[in-house]
Structure 1
């Protein structure tokens, strides 16, 4: 059986200058509200994460307003309503394993922020 791996189709969403370090900025992509989070790193370069803006517990589109930080060297964002923390890498909730946010591949491409 032949297995193929497809690379994501990259779509520009906004300019890098539209992002705020360690904070969420929400973009509407198709029908999805996506929170984009820029995490600066002097050693490896800046990383951008794309995560669902909809809080699974309340149903409100507020994740992009959450606090960004680290838990055990893992970047997370906290819901501003119930304070549960989600890993930016994969959307997993640290306090409630049954909760997870959808994530998208994201990258900085020159002056552009792109999601796949």
Structure 2
């Protein structure tokens, strides 16, 4: 059984994402929401809100809910854990989380 290597897609420059905000990008043709929390932490999840089908999660509010770093959907206010994509209010509406790395001032995403 062989493991496929991750395909890394450059989505933007680090400075294109203000701290505690997100941007929408395409990784392998899939819309992803990429978030910068503080100055050094980056996360990526699917950008499509599973309840509405709209590509809006990148526009949600970033914050903390207990131990979880989350984004609140701008439509239904559900909270998605940025580390694993789990919807805290309705786990059946969870999204996929993706790998992120920073290299030479660029943000790269690999679909997970």
TM-score, scaled relative to structure 2: 0.89
The answer to whether residue 30 in structure 2 is matched with residue 32 in structure 1 is yes
CA distance in 1, matches of 2:29, 2:6: 18
Q: Could you say which residue in structure 2 is the equivalent of 1:74?
A: 68
Q: Could you say which residue in structure 2 is the equivalent of 1:12?
A: 10
Deviations 1:41-74 (A, max 9, x none): 6xxxx11111111000011111011000011132
Question: Within 5 Å, which residues of 2 pair with 1:55-66?
Answer: 55-66=49-60
Deviations 1:12-34 (A, max 9, x none): 21111111111111112232111
CA distance in 1, matches of 2:20, 2:103: 19
Tell whether the 8 Å contact from 1:47 to 1:107 is kept in structure 2 after alignment: no
Q: What displacement does 1:9 show?
A: 3.0
Q: What is the number of residues matched between the two proteins?
A: 110
Greater share of strand residues, 1 or 2? 2
Q: Could you say which residue in structure 1 is the equivalent of 2:20?
A: 22
Name stretches of at least 5 consecutive residues in structure 1 with no aligned partner.
none
Structure of greater Rg: 1
TM-score, scaled relative to structure 1: 0.86
Name stretches of at least 5 consecutive residues in structure 2 with no aligned partner.
none
Runs of 4+ more than 4 Å apart: 3-7
CA distance in 2, matches of 1:28, 1:8: 16
CA distance in 2, matches of 1:106, 1:63: 17
RMSD: 1.6
